[in-house]
């Protein structure tokens, strides 16, 4: 079985420490901190909204045991697992409420953030309730925010993560297209509106990927993993509007977490 990059890194650190101690004959080696902890930060796509089986103690953050961070941590030997991701979190929320879980012992950080900053919940409400013209306009406004304000928000957050966890490998995951165009949906948004939403997702991912690269982090693109499994596809891994649990609308199902996000994260960890 191929080891994850995180596991290889930890093994290398341990081997180096062993060689240091066994080869020292006249001087005592300085103690080294081995960074093996894992912290999962971010918004609803990382907390697992839509996947069900929410952890009672997580309250309105709606963290799920079916979310990709919990699934990954359950099969890897990490010294600690801090599951801090929270429904609705913006970059400022992650900065102010989630970075306390990071230390110099944190060896791996995962993160999804930017969708809430860009107002995707309001955009989707506009698209559902006000029609195609309003939907296209709302998406254009969201893309303007992505181009002008979001890069600075991400820069501040990424710099703070580096300061708090300098030894960590940081994997920032993107977002999937929400819709398959010309798909099987018989009602709902027009294809023009659906295309506008997908364009906004593309722009968001592009902005995130650029900032990630500039900070030396790893960007993990999930769009390919979800291809053919969008809303209006034959086998969707994303929830459409859910009137019984509105907060779960437009989020990955448990299958979307385990078959979409988890494999992509595992390849980058």
Do 47 and 67 form a contact (C-beta atoms < 8 A)? Answer: yes
Catalytic residue among 177, 229, 251, 259: 251
Decide if 177 is catalytic.
no
Catalytic residue among 44, 101, 116, 268: 44
143/2 Cα distance (integer angstroms): 39
Decide if 44 is catalytic.
yes
257/268 Cα distance (integer angstroms): 15
| Residues with catalytic roles | 44, 251
């Amino acid at each position: 079985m191929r080891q994850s990059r995180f596991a290889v890194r930890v093994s290398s650190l341990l081997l180096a420490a062993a060689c240091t101690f066994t080869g020292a004959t006249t001087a005592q080696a300085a103690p080294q901190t081995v960074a093996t902890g894992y912290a999962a930060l971010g918004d609803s796509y990382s907390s697992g909204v839509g996947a069900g089986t929410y952890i009672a103690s997580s309250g309105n953050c709606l963290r799920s045991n079916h979310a990709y961070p919990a699934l990954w941590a359950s099969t890897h030997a990490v010294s600690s697992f801090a599951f801090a991701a929270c429904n609705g979190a913006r970059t400022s929320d992650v900065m102010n409420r989630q970075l306390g879980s990071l230390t110099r012992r944190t060896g791996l950080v995962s993160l999804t953030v930017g969708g809430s900053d860009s107002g995707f919940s309001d955009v989707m409400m506009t698209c559902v309730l006000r029609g195609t013209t309003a939907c296209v306009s709302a998406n254009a406004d969201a893309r303007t925010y992505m181009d002008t304000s979001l890069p600075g928000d991400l820069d501040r957050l990424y710099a703070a993560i580096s300061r708090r966890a300098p030894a960590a490998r940081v994997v920032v995951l993107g977002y999937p297209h929400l819709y398959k165009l010309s798909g099987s949906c018989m009602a709902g948004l027009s294809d023009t509106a659906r295309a506008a939403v997908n364009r906004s997702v593309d722009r968001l991912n592009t902005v995130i990927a650029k900032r990630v690269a500039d900070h030396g982090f790893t960007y993990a693109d999930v769009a390919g993993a979800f291809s053919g499994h969008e809303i209006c596809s034959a086998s969707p891994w994303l929830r459409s509007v859910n009137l019984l649990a509105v907060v779960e609308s437009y989020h990955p199902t448990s299958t979307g977490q385990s078959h979409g996000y988890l494999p992509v994260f595992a390849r980058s960890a």
